[in-house]
Amino acid sequence: MKHTPDLDFARDRAAYRRWRIGVIAMIGLAFGLQMGAAAYRFQSLESTHAALASQHRTILANTSQPLTSPGATLSAEQLKSAKAAQTMLDSLAVPWEGLLGAIEAASTPRALVEAIQPRADDGSVNISVSSADFEGVAEFVRRLTQQERLFGVMLVSETLPENGAGPLRAVITANWRNTP
């Protein structure tokens, strides 16, 4: 009788356990690195915001006149820094999450949102959309007016392509509420 070798195709449970622990450790390491990078970016943005706000307060404290008045005694560099700080503060004042959520809730399959241009100085937003027909734009405007975060929704302009082929493009303006 010939001896046949015993072939064991069963998994080596200890090796499989080490491999599984290694994969979980690598996933945890990758997640930890991502969280660390996000925390660093957040801290960097916070310090930049604090520095710009401090610089803005300093510039405003040095002058008793508004920056837009013709008699302001600021140098061109100070004026440029003040406007940059104000632009940064205005962009941070946009309630992005609520604004984008309201626009997303109002979206329809017939209207494609192409651009969103918020203006923090007056609390308004311009929304550029395109649609195959006017009914798609009208439905989008109607759904925007039903959003709690938005008010004063108006269709500002609409443009048809010259040759008649292509989508209808429209610009809608609305104001937002900062309260949730």
Instruction: Walk me through the domains of the chain, giving residue ranges and CATH numbers.
Output: 14-61+74-92 (no CATH), 96-176 (3.30.1360.100)
CA distance linking residue 111 with residue 106, whole number of Å: 10
Q: What is the pLDDT of residue 121?
A: 74
Mean pLDDT value across residues 42-47: 88
Q: What is the pLDDT of residue 180?
A: 55
Given a contact cutoff of 8 angstroms between Cβ atoms, the answer to whether 169 and 128 are in contact is yes
Q: What is the pLDDT of residue 14?
A: 78
Mean pLDDT value across residues 144-160: 90
Given a contact cutoff of 8 angstroms between Cβ atoms, the answer to whether 117 and 125 are in contact is yes
pLDDT tier, 8 (very low <50, low <70, confident <90, very high otherwise): low
Q: What is the pLDDT of residue 64?
A: 53
Kindly tell me if the per-residue pLDDT of 142 is higher than 90: yes
Q: What is the pLDDT of residue 7?
A: 61
Kindly tell me if the per-residue pLDDT of 168 is higher than 70: yes
Mean pLDDT value across residues 119-127: 84
Q: How many helices (H) and strands (E) does the chain have?
A: 4, 4
Q: What is the pLDDT of residue 11?
A: 66
Q: Kindly report, residue by residue over 64-93, the tens digit of the pLDDT.
A: 555 555 555 677 888 888 888 877 777 776
pLDDT tier, 53 (very low <50, low <70, confident <90, very high otherwise): confident
For the chain, the average pLDDT equals: 83
Given a contact cutoff of 8 angstroms between Cβ atoms, the answer to whether 139 and 108 are in contact is yes
